[in-house]
Amino acid sequence: MQKFEGIHFYVNVANFNEVVIDEESKNGKVNHSIHALDTFFSGIESFGKKKFPEKYVIEKITGARLHMYVVDDVNEAYEIVEEVVKFAGDLSRYLNSDIAKYKTLLDFKIQVGACFGSFYNYEFKRQNADEETTIGYAANYAAKLQGLCNIGNIAISSNIFDTLNEEKKNKYVKHSSVKVQKYGEDCYYEMPISKLTGSIDYSESLRASKEYANKVNLTDMTFRKPIKSVAFEELSKKECKEIEGIPLFADVRGFTSQFDNDDTNLEEMAVKTQNILTTMYDLVTVNHGIHVQFQGDREFALFHNYAGYECLSDAVKAGLKMIDAVQTYGVSIGVGESFGKMFATRIGARGEKDYLLIGTTVIEADRNEDENAKANQLVISNDVYLMLKKDKPKWADIFIKQNGYYYTTTGYNKLMNIISQEQLNINNRNNNYNGAWRE
């Protein structure tokens, strides 16, 4: 692991779920959504790398969010962030106004969060698909600010705001919020992206994005169903997969608040994060799942059906085992799953390096984890529950219905103990009855 200092920032298409749902409900496919998201993020990536090749770094695309950072002192880094984010705002409007193939889509609505600090860069090694991830308060808090930010705005941390000149400070509005207190902060600062100061002429980069969009026709995109376990490294914007299965999201609860905002425990937390991510990754792969990507301290995985294999029990088992496993690190997680159709592909300007799995099924699993799962709970959709009720009724018994979904706080070890004890009781009853009958 290498240690750096700089600004982490996230550009998020806040309404991308609505974009996907709208297109999927109308056409049964999501090729326009995938194509537009690829053009949008690839355009930002290309702009940043061309204008600031030494300092601007793309970490990854995580669903509808592009994670980037600038390695520099806070003032120099902020000027680069301004340019990249202002271009992102212009490009989001340009997609629908000037690129004909995206006119049927809902307009992209974006939000941005940024924070300065120290962080570790960690490269997770695995065959054919090494994955870079960053660990630190700055990366985590920037993501939280992005989620708090209003549509069309950028939110920055206090440690960025305090270094700005008065002219730039005056454009920001201070927000006090209890939602940031657990991160050692009492406020953050927000302003419309359109008011950012930018000195670069973006017209050439906008035209380059339009040329990029026209390189691949929508009719060139295929969505074949898998005959074996999906290998993301074999996919592209042209070669997509239509999958039936279960997406899994597992997120460490309250983890960002364990990072000191002055980075004094960064090294300790980096090692802890690495161990937790590795544990979740291993539980996915040993249970025949496919690791999609790390999203901060969250694991995103895929379990899917194909000829001769059904993913149900492995997906649920992996979620239950995660609840048991992470407790050894003194943390808790929330896990969400759903079942249905999804679309898998790869996008991005760096050789289509970033894995993308989208669809209403993914949206439901994400919400089950993010909104419904409490600490050490696995939340499953109604479809997953009904399949369990049919195929694994004793597993279904540990789930409790609530507001259209089902949850459990029972881990895999406890489930196995419950089943073993029930079987033991059955055996004892049978032995007692048979013995009495023989007498």
Tokens 């309250």 appear where?
254
Residues 205, 90 share a domain: yes
Residues 87, 12 share a domain: yes
Provide the CATH number for the domain around residue 187. 3.30.70.1230
- Residue 67 sits in which domain range? 1-217
- Confidence grade of residue 438 (pLDDT, cut at 50, 70, 90): very low
Closest CA to 398 of 342, 329, 323, 332: 323
Residue 118, token pair as written in the block: 């120290």
Round to whole Å and give the CA distance between 408 and 331.
17
Per the CB < 8 A criterion, the answer to whether 406 and 385 are in contact is yes
- Confidence grade of residue 436 (pLDDT, cut at 50, 70, 90): very low
Domain end: 152, 186, 217, which one?
217
Residue at 281: amino acid letter: Y
pLDDT digits (tens, 9 = 90+) for 294-317: 988 889 999 999 999 999 999 999
Enter the pTM of the model.
0.88
Round to whole Å and give the CA distance between 172 and 150.
13
Question: pLDDT over 70 for what percent of the chain?
Answer: 97
- Confidence grade of residue 432 (pLDDT, cut at 50, 70, 90): low
pLDDT digits (tens, 9 = 90+) for 157-211: 999 999 999 999 999 999 998 988 888 899 999 999 999 988 899 999 999 999 9
Residues in CB range of 425: below 8 A, 6 or more apart: none
- H-run or E-run covering 277: helix 266-286
Mean pLDDT for the chain? Answer: 92
Round to whole Å and give the CA distance between 15 and 64.
9
Q: Considering its fold, how many domains does the chain have in total?
A: 2
pLDDT at 185: 92
Residues 225, 210 share a domain: no
Tell me how far apart the 2 most distant CA atoms of the chain are, in Å. Answer: 97
- Confidence grade of residue 235 (pLDDT, cut at 50, 70, 90): very high
pLDDT digits (tens, 9 = 90+) for 324-359: 999 999 999 999 999 999 999 999 878 788 999 999
Residue 435 in this model has a pLDDT that exceeds 50: no
pLDDT at 439: 32
Round to whole Å and give the CA distance between 242 and 342.
6
Per the CB < 8 A criterion, the answer to whether 86 and 104 are in contact is no
Residues 103, 42 share a domain: yes
Residues 199, 342 share a domain: no
Residue at 206: amino acid letter: L
- Confidence grade of residue 153 (pLDDT, cut at 50, 70, 90): very high
pLDDT digits (tens, 9 = 90+) for 401-428: 999 999 999 999 999 999 988 888 888 8
Residues 275, 148 share a domain: no
